[in-house]
Chains A and B, each alone.
Chain A
């Protein structure tokens, strides 16, 4: 558990589980869980590559490169905002439809 490949494999597993959840689940909250898992897989990739390959423009720079970690900080903040909005939408949809099954939300179809 100490090479770049190991972290990327864990990230791939998380992403695959997230895709499985998106395909099979119909409960809106489970879909939120699946999306969060996929976001975390992407974050893990960002940090792993940033820590193992701190190259900028092909040559190793003297100053440490914090770009990967910085991007992940932004991404985590965005994911938190997204979770809040999705939960609000789910609560409103539940009040209107008395259901959180996304295949029952006919009025949200275009």
Chain B
């Protein structure tokens, strides 16, 4: 699972064609979903598959395929200095976090002690976190309307 997740993440960023990159991203998101299953959180895992792979990945794939233009996939190669800086930054962050994890006693927690099911999640969402849910619904509606307006306003301009 770990290999699938991390390997697909690298494919997503390094694949030549952006279509393959999108498929790699979907694979990486699926890997994270399987990790959620391993963490005894099946509800979140199914939500992840439904929303990320079912909506986000498919949305990206459709956008790339519908606007089939050369420039979408063509990318000027980054200069070797930028690439070196990127690799160094990424490796430094990974190293720092891994050293921090190894240095602490996080690995001694080997039992999943939380038994929260979707019933508990539902109770939490509908009682204490209800305002967050309402605000999130508004944000979702606003973002969808905004996305539609963006593409539509531009179409009227070009006519």
**A-B complex is real:** yes
Q: Which residues of A contact B (CB under 8 A)?
A: 1-10, 12-21, 23-27, 29-30, 32-34, 36-37, 40, 43-44, 47-48, 50-54, 60, 63-70, 72-74, 76-85, 87-92, 94-96, 98-101
Question: Which DSSP category, helix, strand, loop or mixed, fits chain A's interface?
Answer: helix
Give Cα A91 to B97, complex, Å. 36
Q: How many whole Å from A45's CB to the nearest CB in chain B?
A: 10
**Is B59 located at the chain interface by the 8 A CB criterion?**
yes
Contact A16 B94 (CB under 8 A): yes
Contact A64 B91 (CB under 8 A): no
Given known A12-B101, A47-B39, contact A29–B89 (CB-CB < 8 A): no
Give Cα A25 to B89, complex, Å. 13
Q: Which residues of B contact A (CB under 8 A)?
A: 1-2, 5-6, 9-10, 12-13, 18, 21-22, 25, 28-29, 32, 35-36, 38-41, 43-44, 47-48, 51-52, 55-56, 59-60, 63-64, 67, 69, 71-72, 75-76, 78, 82-83, 85-87, 89-91, 93-94, 97-98, 101-102, 106-117, 120-121, 123-125, 129, 132-133, 136, 139-140, 143-144, 146-148, 150-151, 154, 158
Give Cα A40 to B8, complex, Å. 13
Given known A47-B44, A72-B44, A76-B52, contact A30–B75 (CB-CB < 8 A): yes
Give Cα A87 to B148, complex, Å. 11
User: Which of B55, B78, B85 lies in contact with A26, CB distance below 8 A?
Assistant: B78
| Across-interface contacts of A94 in B (CB, < 8 A) | 67, 69, 71-72
